[in-house]
Amino acid sequence: MAERGTCKSADCEKPVVGKGYCAPHYRKWKQGELPKARYKTCVEENCLGRQVARARCAKHAGIEIPVAAEAAAAPSA
């Protein structure tokens, strides 16, 4: 069957093109504009960072990014 189902977005009956979404919704999904993104996004406005703690991205949660921290931190003791 060629039937691949319809978009899983609410009230959308368009044919699926990827990840269960139709073309326009799939594009939105990739841009992180849908509630069901690839991952939960930071609750801060206009931030699409991935949630790591307290519903916020590392930046907004105040968590140091290990890579940057390692590069900057020389052994001082």
Q: How far is the CB of 69 from Zn ion (least distance, A)?
A: 18
Under rule CB under 5 A, residue 53 binds Zn ion: no
**Distances 14 to 32, 36, 45, 48, 67 between C-alpha atoms, Å:** 19, 18, 30, 26, 43
CB of 19 to Zn ion, least distance (A): 11
Residues 6+ apart with CB under 8 A from 42: 48, 49, 50, 51, 55, 56, 57, 59, 60
Task: Decide if residue 42 touches Zn ion (CB under 5 A).
Answer: yes
Smaller CB distance to Zn ion: residue 53 or 73?
53
**Shortest reach from residue 71's CB to Zn ion, in Å:** 22
Positions touching Zn ion (CB under 5 A) are 7, 9, 12, 14, 22, 25, 42, 44, 47, 49, 57, 60
